[in-house]
Structure 1
Amino acid sequence: MTDTDPYRLAGDAEEAPRATGSPVSRGQILRALLWAVLVVSVAGNTVVSLSAEAPALHIALGVVTGLCVTALAVQSLRRSR
């Protein structure tokens, strides 16, 4: 007689249920990448702004920060619909 109780703990590894986690979507990967780039660009912009040199780098990091914030906002708006 076989035990078909779904709440029974498996006796060995072969009987153990396999984890069927959902795969990570491209949107989640993009969102994580955007957040990482945003944190790095804000930190870099802070460091560069403390020094009076390299205004072009300061502007470039500001543009990257703005683009990341915009892309994250667009993703958030699309996800809420």
Structure 2
Amino acid sequence: ADQQQATPIVDLDINNDPKPFFVNASVTLDQHIQAQTSNLPRYLATLFSLDSNSVEIGQKAKACALAAAWCRHDHKLANNL
């Protein structure tokens, strides 16, 4: 399992399968920024849906979601995270 976490995901797409953004530790900050930029409504819907269904969202994913919001100067989102 440790080897899988170290392998970056290259075919990640917020439009096709948004769940890995929040449960896979190998997703990068740049990938979170890209996802928020390309489809923020789906990104947020997935984040809040997973959270409300008690799916554990990784600490790195939470940090990346917040950092990506800051990078995009989206202070409203950052404050709500």
- TM-score by shorter chain over 0.5: no
Choose 1 or 2 for highest CA Rg: 1
- TM-score range for the pair, normalised by the shorter chain length: 0.3 to 0.5
